[in-house]
Amino acid sequence: MAKNLAQKTIILQFSNVVLNTLFFFASVYFIGYYALILGNVAAILSSFILSSYHQKKYLNSLIFDSISQVKKLISLFIILVLIGFIIKMFLNGHNILILIIVPIVLAPITLLLYKVFRLINVEDIYRYLGKNNKVSKVLASIYST
């Protein structure tokens, strides 16, 4: 939008809504309310691909420095989904516990995996959160090594 390409944002959002809706209605009969998650994942993936295409074509830049960053991000996503499903299997039928425990477990694992995959560095933390606050200082201490 900053480069006067607002119509690309509209196309991106429209494709997001259409794919989310299509995947939901195509799969709700088979997988129930998990179709919401499937629709969201499909929409986010399509938005990522379409926005990467538009960034490269119209702005001659990309969000990620290399394809290895994209591979690491996809690996991170797959690992977190698998961990979430494993937790769900152990807590089968206890939906309230699943809603409480899965985010509590996945949050620190996500931080750890971002460090292991080196997806965040101290400069990123300072750029997005600033240098003079407790959150950025704690995160910088985690990601500094």
Q: Are 71 and 16 found together in one domain?
A: no
Q: Are 92 and 30 found together in one domain?
A: no
Residue 81 CA to residue 35 CA, distance in Å, equals 15
Q: How buried is residue 120: exposed, middle or buried, by Cβ count under 10 Å (0-12/13-18/19+)?
A: middle
| 86-140 confidence digits (pLDDT tens) | 988 888 878 888 888 989 999 999 988 988 888 888 888 888 888 888 888 888 8
For residue 59, pLDDT beyond 80: no
Q: Are 98 and 118 found together in one domain?
A: yes
Query: pTM of the full predicted structure?
Result: 0.64
Q: Are 108 and 137 found together in one domain?
A: yes
- Hey, what are 53's tokens? 């295409």
Q: Are 80 and 26 found together in one domain?
A: no
- In the chain, the number of structural domains is 2
| 10-47 confidence digits (pLDDT tens) | 887 888 888 888 888 988 888 887 788 888 888 888 88
Residue finishing a domain among 63, 93, 114: 63
pLDDT of residue 1: 54
Q: Are 136 and 112 found together in one domain?
A: yes
User: Which residue range is the domain that position 77 belongs to?
Assistant: 64-145
